[in-house]
Amino acid sequence: MALWDHLRELKNRLIKSAIGILVAAVGGWFLYDPVVNGLSSPLITIAEETGRTAVLNFATIADPFAFKIQIAIQIGLVISSPIWIYQVWAFITPGLTSKERRYTLGYMFAGVPLFLAGVYVGWWVFPTVVRALLQFTPAEGANNIGAADYLTFVTQMFLILGISFLVPVLLVGINMAGVVRGRTILKAWRIIVFLVFVLTALAAPGTDALSMIMLAGPLLVLFFAAIGLCILNDNRRDKRAAKVAAETEANADVATPGSELKNL
């Protein structure tokens, strides 16, 4: 395929992805109220428990409208993730063999639910994270949090967790490609555990250890499950290679004249 054809294909995939996101963002527009209520619930709880002000702050007249558009687009990105992930896969696959396409299709089907699961985990734990961060506010203080800053914080946490849930799929992929063996990855389990806790500390930068553990737990389960799949794949590959080697050696002995006499 010529360079111009590649660029045209890329443009078509981007347009389809953008259309999918925009259509999903329309649904996100109507989901704005329940989503914002969920995002604001930790602040409401803090205000009720402490008696101090804890609210989202809109600095200008246009901020509420801009905030609603941003929320709708963020929801649209999550809802349309199967569409734009598929478009990425469809753009890459023409350069792959049929076997590689089957592998990548499996990774895509595994990657979409894992990404959504990571976002869901972020939604589940973020109230604890917000309360942990705001507990250091003095009794005389107030939490007038900028809506844009709050949205950026929540989006980054959700995105980090969504991508983190995709990493085990990547491990299985490079193992099936023969780049690294499962036991080699397992030898680095201490480093993996350390990096997972560093990552969860970034996603939940409070001093609350419980929120960090709730984030790290599912990630560690996924990582070690992926390592287990890699080891099973290595064992299956080793058995297949041993069988092929034995058959090749047997065929070579039969095909070589006088091999029986030499063996005697």
**Residue 190 lies inside a defined structural domain of this protein:** yes
Domain shared by 112 and 200, yes or no: no
Domain shared by 116 and 46, yes or no: yes
Span 235-257, pLDDT tens digits: 887 888 888 877 777 777 666 55
Percent of the chain with pLDDT over 70: 81
The more confidently predicted of residues 38 and 250 is 38
pTM of the model: 0.64
Domain shared by 94 and 28, yes or no: yes
Q: Helix, strand or coil for residue 221? A: helix
Domain shared by 117 and 8, yes or no: yes
Query: Looking at residues 49-65, what average pLDDT do you find?
Result: 82
Domain shared by 140 and 27, yes or no: yes
Domain count, the chain: 2
Domain shared by 98 and 183, yes or no: no
